[in-house]
Amino acid sequence: MKRVMFVCKKNSARSQMAEGFARHLGAGKIEVTSSGLEASTVRPEAIATMKDTGIDITSQTSKALNEFKSADFDVVISLCGCGVNLPPEWLERPVFEDWQLDDPAEQPEIFPRVREEIRERVTALIKSL
């Protein structure tokens, strides 16, 4: 089973939504977690927009990347263009992608659009594994 890490700046919105979709769509196929360059809290808008899809992420928590070891993951996905700020060992995993999605925390009205972009990308990622 492939182990996937979604990483973003604060692990509060994009990476949390990606984790939620991956857990739901990849159940039994992948193990998934998310983290941030720094930990914060899961944004209520992320929880609400995911609830609109029938996926509950209220039990997810914000975690810092330094709580994990890169060697424990097969796939590392950056959702914010923060790949340039990741320690090199995270970039050297078998699969590394930098999706560079807009930050809905800066513009809460775009949460639904960003959520759908994440859903499409997570679906494609799971199929590719």
Of the candidates 93, 53, 58, 92, the one whose C-alpha atom is nearest the C-alpha of residue 73 is: 93
Cα–Cα–Cα angle for 42, 75, 97, rounded to 5 degrees: 80
List the catalytic residues.
8, 80
The Cα–Cα gap between 93 and 46 comes to 28
**CA separation for the pair 90, 86 (Å, rounded):** 6
